[in-house]
Structure 1
Amino acid sequence: MNISPPEVRKGRKYDQVLEGARSVFMIDGFEGASVDEIARVAAVSKATLYSYFPDKRLLFMEVANAECARQSQEAIDNIDMAAPPRLVLGQAGRHFLRFITSTFGQQIFRICVAESDRFPEIGQSFYKTGPAVMRAEMAEYFAGAEARGELHIEDRMLAADQFAELCKADVWARLMFGMSKSVSAAEIDRVVDGAVETFLARYGA
């Protein structure tokens, strides 16, 4: 039986707590971040922090949802719906791969997986705020590119999923299984450029 995670209470200092937590998590990561340090940076008491977030994992995922939504919006803002597929795919792929291979992105993924049995809502909420938004946006872009005769795609949502998976080739598995500690900009370029070429070989008009 699944246990619902505690309800997040929003109040006067909610944004203040969230911003303080984001600063600490970005520097120290989930394991390294202490509640004392988060409270200090947020300029609130521990009692106030706990009144909003009784569990550090809940706080981390709230920060993760907000950051994922911000990253998705940033990527969307940089997508020119009239630009050619090679340009848009390259931009979107690099943005996506930089985020998921960042320390913060990896921690989000690991916590979603670790807590998926007890708190499936955590992963579902994260997916809806980021991956699902970008998936829909890419599918919309594909529709416009098709209308211009630049792409030919029957299942746009599947194509968006396939492109995301192509962008994870090699580097994501190595990070998840501890074979690598980080991914260089050159590696990101190599993988994304390959993903774009493979995608266009399949779907280019």
Structure 2
Amino acid sequence: MNTQTPVYRKGRKVDQVLSGAREVFLRDGFEGASVDDIAKAAGVSKATLYSYFSDKRQLFKEVVQAECQRMSTEIVSQLDDSMPIREALSRASYGLAKFLVSDFAQKVFRICVAESDRFPELGQAYYEAGPGNGHQQLVEHLEESVAKGELVIPDIEMAAYQFSELCKARNFNLACFGVRTEFTDAEIREVSDATVDMFLKTYAPH
């Protein structure tokens, strides 16, 4: 399965700045985060920070891209074209269901919604790096499974969206509205298993 890999700046200082920015954004949100606080958390000067990143928006977008790429690589690395379709879907659904309720995903989601009127490019960056990239990878995997006869799907694009939405069942809304902040592995696995069961009931060959 191919991945869409954004181009990142490399180097120890860059990593320090992104790490510091991640910490401050998750703690203070986008509006509350200051470049001074980010530089302090990163252990660099503002001059060094600005030598790599033009402004706070660019910093936020690259923090999001780096984290989403890390998550995507982690999930995709567990998939093998030779494994049974149920196992492949189970690994993908578990990884996605777990990420969706993570502290990072929830806080970034709230930031993007809160800033959508003033800075719509923040949400666009998150969508492209996270949901959009994940959707394309899932489409490619489903196309391969259909070609091998493991699945029968008339509309692969829609099926990929359905799979992602099933991974949001129960836990995502509880986390999104602040009803719950932590979920056990069993609760995440329950959503993952239910996702795969329903998906295969619809698209497995009969």
User: So what's the TM-score if we normalise by structure 2?
Assistant: 0.81
Q: Which residue of 2 aligns with 1:6?
A: none
Query: 2:60 aligned with 1:60, yes or no?
Result: yes
The 5 Å alignment of 1:150-161 reads: 150-161=150-161
- Partner Cα separation in structure 2 for residue 126 and residue 59 of structure 1: 12
Query: 2:98 aligned with 1:111, yes or no?
Result: no
Q: Which residue of 1 aligns with 2:27?
A: 29
1:39, CA displacement in angstroms?
A: 2.4
Q: Which residue of 1 aligns with 2:128?
A: 128
1:38–1:197 Cα change, 3 Å: same
Specify the code of the residue in structure 1 equivalent to 2:76.
I
User: So what's the TM-score if we normalise by structure 1?
Assistant: 0.82
- Partner Cα separation in structure 2 for residue 113 and residue 150 of structure 1: 38
Q: Which residue of 2 aligns with 1:7?
A: none
| Contact map agreement 1:85 1:150 (CA 8 A) in 2 | yes
1:73, CA displacement in angstroms?
A: 2.2
- Partner Cα separation in structure 1 for residue 158 and residue 92 of structure 2: 16
Give structure 1 regions of 4+ aligned residues with deviation exceeding 6 angstroms: none
- Partner Cα separation in structure 2 for residue 50 and residue 149 of structure 1: 52
- Partner Cα separation in structure 2 for residue 54 and residue 14 of structure 1: 14
1:186, CA displacement in angstroms?
A: 0.9
- Partner Cα separation in structure 2 for residue 157 and residue 84 of structure 1: 21
- Partner Cα separation in structure 2 for residue 119 and residue 129 of structure 1: 17
- Partner Cα separation in structure 1 for residue 148 and residue 127 of structure 2: 30
Specify the code of the residue in structure 2 equivalent to 1:79.
L
Q: Which residue of 2 aligns with 1:96?
A: 96
Query: 2:155 aligned with 1:140, yes or no?
Result: no
| Contact map agreement 2:24 2:41 (CA 8 A) in 1 | no
Q: Deviations over 1:112-132 (max 9, x none)?
A: 111111121111122112222
Q: Which residue of 1 aligns with 2:83?
A: 83
1:29–1:93 Cα change, 3 Å: farther
Structure 1: tracts of 5 or more residues without a match: 1-9
Structure 2: tracts of 5 or more residues without a match: 1-8
1:30–1:160 Cα change, 3 Å: farther
Q: Which residue of 1 aligns with 2:177?
A: 177
SS of residue in 2 equivalent to 1:159: helix
| Contact map agreement 2:64 2:129 (CA 8 A) in 1 | no
1:182–1:61 Cα change, 3 Å: farther
Aligned residues: 193
- Partner Cα separation in structure 2 for residue 147 and residue 11 of structure 1: 39
